[in-house]
Structure 1
Amino acid sequence: MQGDEPDTPIVVLTGHDDMEFAVQALEAGAQDYLVKGNLDADSLLRSIRYAIGRAKLEQRLVLSEERMTAAIEGGKLGVWDWLLTSQQFASLSDRWLSMLGYHPDDGDLPNGSDAWLARLHPDDRAHFDSALASHLEKETPNFQCEVRLRHRQQNWVWVFISGHVVSWDAEGRPQRMVGVQQDISERKIMEQRLEELAMRDTLTGLPNRRSFMQAIDHEHGRVKRHPKLSVGVLMMDIDHFKSVNDTYGHAAGDEVLKAFSSVIGGKLRETDIFGRLGGEEFAVVLPDTDQAGSWQVAEKLREAVAAMRVTLDDSVVVQITTSAGLTHILPGDTRPDGAWCVPITPCI
């Protein structure tokens, strides 16, 4: 109807005074209509003003929808519309479905919101329910959480979910929620890598000093709660390591450190905690291990290191030994300034 000037407000002047024609005119793009027999100056002026106002409102609505569509597409957001009363999703966008490996035409789409929520990772369900309840009880203005959902291929996908209630019944009960969902798996992988860098020694891959001290704090907490527990701590270093660096170079020293870490790690239990404190200094936490057992572990590790042979690139073979001290964590121990103030008994 509007031809080459789609933004021009249109008022239809007609001789038909019936509702069906009026609806057709408005559906075709007109903003208002006038009947010839009822036309006067005031009616014409009022209709023109109304048409101009309505046209501006429609233009703003179109622009708003275009911006929203651009934001959703640019942010790679999936859109959801949840009917809480019937526990059904009124709609799930194609992008939302594709995040979990589905297509709208798939015959095996989960049926109902409960079926979709069953795809939440077991460790994330409580967090999801808590965030949702806080919003439904009007404690938070929006519902937001980061959770894992099971993909159609059975892997886990990290997603950020955000939404809010858009309608309530007469008794104030929520009826409908709308929101968006974003795949944040890449961000989570990056966060995990950064966390590993912060908590792991880059050369050996062992827990670094910060991570190791956190582990000792955890074990100390266990001992304080259960004083009968016995937790051993071995402090170890490589004998005369400086001479290795001076004789063969720091690259050779790095190879020795990595080999030492591998040999010691291979002799420990999965529950033991082996960390590098810095330089050639290492430590081992031995949970649920009494003094006699700790001494046995220390001797086993000493023998394993003595049997080590590190072959360098130039076929030179380096042999090392280790020294260790033994202590046990006690309920009354303290940890001022990041160092355990406990007596170390030389054992090797």
Structure 2
Amino acid sequence: MTFERPASQAETAFHQKALAFNNVTLSYIARGAPLDHLLDRIAGGFSEAYPARSLAIFLFDAQQRRMRVGSARCMAPPHVQQVEALEVAEPDTPQFWALFQQTAAAHGAEVIEMLPLRSFAGDVAGILVVCGAAGALAETAYEDAAYRQTVGAAVSMAMLSIERSLAPSHVRPPIEAASPSDERMALAIEGSGTGIWDRNAVTGEIYYSRGWKAILGYEDWELSNHIEDAYKRVHPDDLPYVQETIRKHFEAKSDTYMVEHRILCRDGSYKWICSRGKVVARDDQGNALRMIGTTTDITEVKLLTGKLRKSSQLLADLTSEIPGMAFQYRVPPGADGYFTYVSEGSRETYGLAPEQLLEEAAAIESIMHPDDLPLYKASLEAIAGGAAHWRLEYRVMPPGLGMRWLRGHARPRRLDDGSVLWHGFISDVSESKAIELELQEFALTDFLTQLPNRRYFMRRLEEEHGRLQRSPEGRAAILMCDLDHFKVVNDTYGHAVGDLVLKNFAAVLKAQLRKSDTVGRYGGEEFAVILADADAVVASGFAERLQRGFAAQPLQLEGKAVAVTLSIGIAIMHAGSACQETVLRESDDALYRAKANGRNRFEIAPAAV
């Protein structure tokens, strides 16, 4: 009884790898892969299994009596050239063997074995040569059965490859001549980057056009026709969706089959493809028999779509996160303008949703401050009239949000159809506006009395003079008021009490004024007043009321009144007044006379009488 030595795990792995390699190679031969590719694959597979040895294949040209290289990647180019230069009457002879050994030795190599490759007719079609370094013949490590099987398989597959390439046309499958229209269709499909597939729904076989295989980077002969292999190429995350879609179409639950998914390419990367197809044959029970379709590479489209989506999301994020409202506003020729884009910031600025403004731009006018609405409408008219830019500050009163100041900026771009497209931004400037108004008020307000200061009063005096120049019948009274013996108050009670006296008088004075009147602390204990639309009689009545009111409301200090009297000078300004400074000097002169005539009285300038 004899026992075979059990194979080791390494030997088992070697045989499995060799079997897989041979099966793939045979499938390539069957599908008509190019001869040079097949021979390179056979030689490369051998060298991978036995790195210390190299395999070369030469084809015999009987007519030219020359050897032509089929695959000799491990041989030096000069060595290959020398072999191809040899005159060969018959390769399978001792004489050629010896001659081949001499050429190998001249290039530092040793021929270990040389085997003829014979066609089915028995003719020598080429040779398979195994070479190694000098002294390789003495090695015994390559005498095992696995090595002999590898060499034998290489010889068989090389013979099949050569025979397949030499097969006469009458033994190859007949090809029906294509009509000119068919050729044009094939060329159009090939050039469009679209592949065609034809699936046998019964056997599971699927046939791909050359263009389909090219999408994934395969040669025409490199892919199997099994649907199981096709599913292995589909991205795992997309496979359930693909299988479910095709199942529904097989069950006639959809008119056509269309999927977009990722698929594994020859180089290990994934592409996006779009496959469309339709069952074109069913049996009597409605079962799918045959399905035909096309596949298009949509990777670039997907990448571009992704970039656009990211850009759109970035724009949306930016316009949503930045405080304020970004907008696009279109003004067609001779028509009202309308918003074509409004960011989410409209909710914060106007208290309105973007959809509301896109539907009706005039919705803004419903929340506009009444005093600013005419200015806003005028700015829109300017836009329609071809303004070069838009800049406006205005107030809005969104329901429940209170009044706020907004600032708008926009620039136009004229379109080919004559429309003007405005791109702009609306920001809430309520806080900065409040600070601005506060600073303005601070610059024009007397800190102690909180009345307007001399600068503000002089500006208003100039404006009033301008108004009267446009109104010949108009009048205005200018009053200069001075607290009598104010220095005595400071000297007696101190400057702190003097300040309280000034503040007390300011309160009494403000209580006597109308909305149309203007007051200002002119300096020290002097105060100036403009009584709009008032003549000498009205001014005299005001002066009397002011004196009485001030006397009736003296400053109380520790239960005692600090009595101070008031002198007033009055002048009248009208359209004939030379300038406002002249009128102011006239009222000051009248004040001087009131002081000279005993104080606690008022005098009217002669020109006003």
Query: In structure 1, what is the Cα distance between the partners aligned to 2:510 and 2:491?
Result: 26
Structure 1: give runs of 5+ residues left out of the alignment: 2-9, 32-54
**Structure 1 residue 304 and structure 2 residue 549: aligned?**
yes
Deviations 1:207-255 (A, max 9, x none): 2111111222222223333333332222111111122222222221111
Deviations 1:160-188 (A, max 9, x none): 22233456243x233x4332211111111
Amino acid at match of 2:546: L
Deviation of 1:328 after TM superposition, in Å, equals: 1.3
Note if contact 2:324-2:348 (Cα within 8 Å) is conserved in structure 1. Answer: no
Query: In structure 1, what is the Cα distance between the partners aligned to 2:353 and 2:551?
Result: 61
Query: In structure 1, what is the Cα distance between the partners aligned to 2:385 and 2:541?
Result: 58
State the identity %: 29
Decide whether aligned partners of structure 1 residues 214 and 155 sit closer, same or farther in structure 2, where only a CA change above 3 A counts. Answer: same
Deviation of 1:87 after TM superposition, in Å, equals: 4.9
Deviation of 1:269 after TM superposition, in Å, equals: 2.8
Amino acid at match of 1:164: R
Where do 1:119-134 residues align within 5 Å?
Answer: 119-134=367-382
**Structure 1 residue 202 and structure 2 residue 477: aligned?**
no
Decide whether aligned partners of structure 1 residues 126 and 227 sit closer, same or farther in structure 2, where only a CA change above 3 A counts. Answer: closer
CA RMSD of aligned residues (A): 3.8
Say which of 98, 111, 114 aligns to 2:348: 98
Normalising by structure 1, we get a TM-score of 0.73
**Structure 1 residue 173 and structure 2 residue 173: aligned?**
no
Amino acid at match of 1:29: L
Local SS of the residue matching 1:193:
helix
Where do 1:1-348 residues align within 5 Å?
Answer: 21-23=296-298, 25-29=299-303, 72=319, 75-85=322-332, 87-102=337-352, 111-140=359-388, 142-153=389-400, 155-166=402-413, 168-170=415-417, 172-174=418-420, 176-312=421-557, 314-330=558-574, 331-335=576-580, 340-342=584-586, 344-345=589-590, 346-347=593-594, 348=601
Deviations 1:249-302 (A, max 9, x none): 222111111111111221233322222101100122222222223222212212
Query: In structure 2, what is the Cα distance between the partners aligned to 1:80 and 1:123?
Result: 24
Query: In structure 2, what is the Cα distance between the partners aligned to 1:300 and 1:76?
Result: 53
Decide whether aligned partners of structure 1 residues 75 and 319 sit closer, same or farther in structure 2, where only a CA change above 3 A counts. Answer: farther
Amino acid at match of 1:113: A
Query: In structure 2, what is the Cα distance between the partners aligned to 1:217 and 1:126?
Result: 26
Deviation of 1:305 after TM superposition, in Å, equals: 1.8
Local SS of the residue matching 2:585:
coil
Decide whether aligned partners of structure 1 residues 328 and 116 sit closer, same or farther in structure 2, where only a CA change above 3 A counts. Answer: closer
1:50 maps to: none
Decide whether aligned partners of structure 1 residues 241 and 64 sit closer, same or farther in structure 2, where only a CA change above 3 A counts. Answer: farther
Amino acid at match of 2:303: G
Point out which structure has higher relative CO (alpha carbons under 8 A, 6+ apart): 1
Decide whether aligned partners of structure 1 residues 62 and 208 sit closer, same or farther in structure 2, where only a CA change above 3 A counts. Answer: same
Query: In structure 2, what is the Cα distance between the partners aligned to 1:127 and 1:161?
Result: 13
Decide whether aligned partners of structure 1 residues 27 and 209 sit closer, same or farther in structure 2, where only a CA change above 3 A counts. Answer: same
Decide whether aligned partners of structure 1 residues 84 and 298 sit closer, same or farther in structure 2, where only a CA change above 3 A counts. Answer: same
Structure 2: give runs of 5+ residues left out of the alignment: 1-234, 236-268, 276-292, 595-600, 602-609
Provide the aligned length of Structure 1 versus Structure 2: 305
Local SS of the residue matching 1:201:
coil
Query: In structure 1, what is the Cα distance between the partners aligned to 2:435 and 2:422?
Result: 31
Normalising by structure 2, we get a TM-score of 0.44
